[in-house]
Structure 1
Amino acid sequence: MTPKKFQETIWKYYRENKRSFAWRETLDPYAILVSEIMLQQTQTERVKIKYAEWMKLFPTVESLAYASLQKVLESWQGLGYNRRALALKHAAETIAKTYDGKFPDTFDGLLELPGIGPYTAGAVMAFAFNKPFPVIETNIRTVYIHFFFGDKFGQIHDKELLPLIKKTLPRKASAGCGPREWYYALMDYGVYVKKNIGNLNKRSRHYTKQSKFEGSNRQIRSGIVKAITFKPHTSISLQDYFKKNLIEVTEEQIIKNLIILEKEGFITQQKNKFHIA
């Protein structure tokens, strides 16, 4: 398929099947950053609810920067992967205190923010500033594999996709067909491919199967953060908390994960009790 025919196919589908989300209706880089962090490891339908709640509580980067970590983690409950909330807060603090509240508007500037990698920086540049930066995520990857690598055997590396992404990416920020809308169109088509053809991401070298949550240290840390968010605990009272929630865990496992959470900046110990930092 030629790049031109590919673009025509994607745009046609998008015009007829465009999805609507609150984060697509804003150009606020902070709001877009929030949505990108939430969407990284959480289903879209869940994010729709939590995003609306979050933006009511923390409508600006300053409101998040100066909020307590306890309030932030309370608001994040239900999304999982609490490190994302911590990274988002640290990024907001950097913007508020180091950049005087002015959101970085360059790719390199965004990369300087805590917890922001190349994908997130590129996504903010595209969605907030309509700049033609290459962006690869699960749905976009699916589309390019479907159209351009149908006959290839073996795993496909993102470096094979990048030239095609750059070649088909609109360079000008024209109304309705610039980088922003193009990536939204690709993502929507990717959802269509997954639903009707299957998960082609399994053919990517970058595909990873999510590790089991039940019985993992991630489950233990998630439980500890959830418990301590609402009241301080000792290692002994945390054992009782897990028993009430029918989760089998030893005191040794609790202590091990308390140490990790303290090092990561989630919690502090005062006397014998652990609190949110």
Structure 2
Amino acid sequence: MINTFQELIYSYYKNNKRDFPFRSNITSYKVLVSEIMLQQTQTNRVSDKFIEFIENFPDFKSLMDAPLEEILKVWQGLGYNKRAVALKEIATRVFKDYEGKLPMDIEVLKSFPQIGYNTACSILSFAYNIPTYFIETNIRRVYIYFFFPGSSSVSDKHILPIVRKTLDTKNPREWYYALMDYGVMLKKSHPELNKRSAHYRKQPKFLGSTRELRGK
């Protein structure tokens, strides 16, 4: 069952993978920036702003040294400015306390502003290809579809053990990309899936990010 599931997800991904600037030329800094941006902003809006942000602040030191006013000017259009403030604080701590290298430790990452457990896990998997176990909206949708047919009020505590069992530990980065892309497809074909989650909450129209809860 697990092998069949992985093959199905990867087969779809091979032919339908989404192309984003934060999925190429990967560095821990770029992953951090993109994950914070994606917390409360839709992916299509993040893509263009991500490129502009990296052009202006290409690494931890440049972000640390930049005046906050300049950072907020580039950030304009994404909203939730506290995320930009948090990124500057994280960059400062990383450069001064960790020799400019983003720590490879979940608990340390969680001590940074705007980073909760799920964000810490996603950063480690996407930046360093380290196996971690987390759930976000698109991932949740995939597991409800395949493993909880007909069920309602499905809790993440029941999904997470299956996430662990099915994880491609040799390449968690690509596996999570593949899961998310499959989840986006399911959102179009089966828009009701996440309503079957115990964690479903109807969002105001101005929200809609797939990762908006990662920083909490």
Q: Is this a same-fold pair by TM over 0.5?
A: yes
Structure 1 residues 113-128: aligned runs within 5 Å: 113-128=112-127
Question: How far did 1:100 drift?
Answer: 2.6
Whole-Å Cα distance in 2 between the matches of residues 55 and 44 of structure 1? 16
Aligned to 2:13, what secondary structure does the other structure show? helix
* Rounded Cα–Cα distance in structure 2 between residues aligned with 1:85 and 1:103: 17
Report if the CA contact (8 A) 1:87-1:114 is conserved.
yes
For the 8 Å contact 1:139–1:186, the answer to whether it is kept is: yes
Residue number in structure 2 paired with 1:24: 23
Shift of 1:75: 1.1
**Larger RCO: 1 or 2 (CA < 8 Å, sep 6+):** 2
Instruction: Determine what percentage of the aligned residue pairs are the same residue.
Output: 53
1:46-91 CA distances to partner (integer Å, 9 max, x unpaired)? 1111000000011001111121111111111111111211111111
Partner of 2:183: 190
Q: What pairs up with 1:28-47 in 2 under 5 angstroms?
A: 28-47=27-46
AA paired with 2:138? N
Deviation at 1:115, TM superposition (A): 2.1
Which ranges of structure 1 fall in alignment gaps of 5 or more residues?
173-177, 214-277
Letter in 1 for 2:184: V
The AA in structure 2 aligned to 1:160 is: H
Q: Is 2:11 the partner of 1:5?
A: no
Q: Calculate the TM-score normalised by the size of structure 1.
A: 0.71
Q: How does 1:135-146 map to 2 (within 5 A)?
A: 135-146=134-145
Measure the CA separation in 2 of the matches of 1:122 and 1:3: 22
* Greater gyration radius: 1
In the alignment, the residues of structure 1 paired with residue 109 and residue 124 of structure 2 have an alpha-carbon distance, to the nearest angstrom, of 9
Q: Which residue of 2 aligns with 1:48?
A: 47
Conserved 8 A contact 2:36-2:114: no
Aligned to 1:202: 195
User: Is residue 151–residue 196 contact of structure 2 (8 Å, CA) maintained in 1?
Assistant: no
> What's 2:148 paired with?
149
Contact 1:11 1:185 in 2 (8 A): yes
TM-score, scaled relative to structure 2: 0.90
Partners of 1:156 and 1:95 lie apart in 2 by 38
Contact 2:60 2:100 in 1 (8 A): yes
Q: Deviating runs (4+, > 3 A) in structure 1?
A: none
Equivalent residues of 2:167, 2:175 under 8 A apart? yes
Matching residue of 1:15? 14
CA-to-aligned-CA distance 1:213-255 (integer Å, 9 cap, x gap): 6xxxxxxxxxxxxxxxxxxxxxxxxxxxxxxxxxxxxxxxxxx
Give the counterpart of 1:170 among 168, 171, 189: 168
Give 1:181's aligned residue: 174
- For residues 149 and 54 of structure 2, the distance between their equivalents in structure 1, rounded to whole angstroms, comes to 41
Alpha carbon RMSD of aligned pairs, Å? Answer: 1.4
In the alignment, is residue 67 of structure 1 matched against residue 86 of structure 2?
no
Structure 2 residue runs of 5 or longer lacking an equivalent are: 207-216
How far the C-alpha of 1:130 sits from its partner, in A, is: 0.6
